[in-house]
Amino acid sequence: MATAAPPQKKPWLKKQPMMRKVEIALMPALLGAIYFFGWRTLAVVLWVAAVGCATEYFMAKKRGDTVSEAVFVTSLLLGLSLPSTIPFWQAGVGMFVAILFGKEVFGGFPRNVFNPAIVGRGFLYVCFPTDMTSHFTAVWKGIPAGFAHWGARLQFDGLNAVSAATPMWSRRDFGYSANLWDLFTGNIGEVFTGTDGVRRVLTAGSVGEVSAILVLLGGIYLLWTKTAQWRLTASALGGAIISSAVFRYLLGAEAVPPVLWTLCSGAMLYAVFFMVTDPITAPKNKNAQYIYGAFIGIMIVFLRWKAVFAGAVAFAILLGNTMAPTLEMYFKARKKKQTAKGAKA
């Protein structure tokens, strides 16, 4: 009598080729983070990946599921969106919240409504504002730069280089605009005197968002491989460009930077290529995608202008995530109504 073959054990990791392409696209930003801030940045990314895997494994096992490869994308996105001096325990807490409350409470991948990395970053932003907004540092420069250092550059020309004077903050609060080429390349770090007469060190932002050209390289790869939806990227960029021009030149808001400066500073490009294009939290309908992307681009510029914190990307994306299901339902109902009307005719 033939005996049934024993049931095969599920692999612990669910392979997702699309997610692997996003990981590849983030490699220029990761290498740049090490170059600019030292090897500690890699250690933070590996640490949040370990916390994320452990959290998702425990939750997935309870429902008979496996860990999705998307957890590594979340680890990279969150780890690269943190300051270079973030304490390890805070980074771990942020990743725990990102996976548990950003994904697993909805039933795991692909049921989450919010981008998990943004949930984790938003949690850290609210709970630990000092470490998330005032502990940025200037970059290491030259060769071998951060590849020869463990941590970030804490001193610059005899001054304490840990401050809140990132390009966005220094322009808005101290009247100093960083050089556009430095924003593009990531060569951020110099002493300046603000409108208040105080000498400060210009510091870079989060470790993976420093160099616009490195983010662009990864973003172009995503679009070229059709991993990211171009409508989402184009509409987000369009919303940011048009709103910047309207606020600055039509409404006379001098606090709003010029268009190119807006695109190259902060997390704008990082967001429109890697966050807005998240296929799970973005709407699927083409028309909804245009509205969704444009809304986030506009909100980033508006919140940078009017909000207390100069960095507004996380909250703009969370607002977009909240709106996405409504947009999807609206256009689905509209299409259904049009189909019914056509059939009746």
The percent of residues in the chain predicted with pLDDT above 90, rounded, is 57
Q: What is the pLDDT of residue 8?
A: 59
Q: Are 176 and 202 in contact (CB under 8 A)?
A: yes
Q: What is the pLDDT of residue 1?
A: 46
Residue with the bigger pLDDT between 257 and 215: it is: 215
Answer yes or no: is pLDDT of 2 > 60: no
Comparing 9-23, 157-171, 277-291, 315-329, which segment has the lowest mean pLDDT? 157-171
Region 47-75 average pLDDT: 92
Model confidence pLDDT, tens digit, residues 24-39: 999 999 999 999 999 9
Q: What is the pLDDT of residue 13?
A: 77
Answer yes or no: is pLDDT of 267 > 50: yes
For residue 209, list its beta bridge partners: none
Residue with the bigger pLDDT between 265 and 229: it is: 229
pTM: 0.91
Model confidence pLDDT, tens digit, residues 293-303: 999 999 999 99
Model confidence pLDDT, tens digit, residues 104-118: 999 888 889 999 999
Q: What is the pLDDT of residue 25?
A: 96
Answer yes or no: is pLDDT of 166 > 80: yes
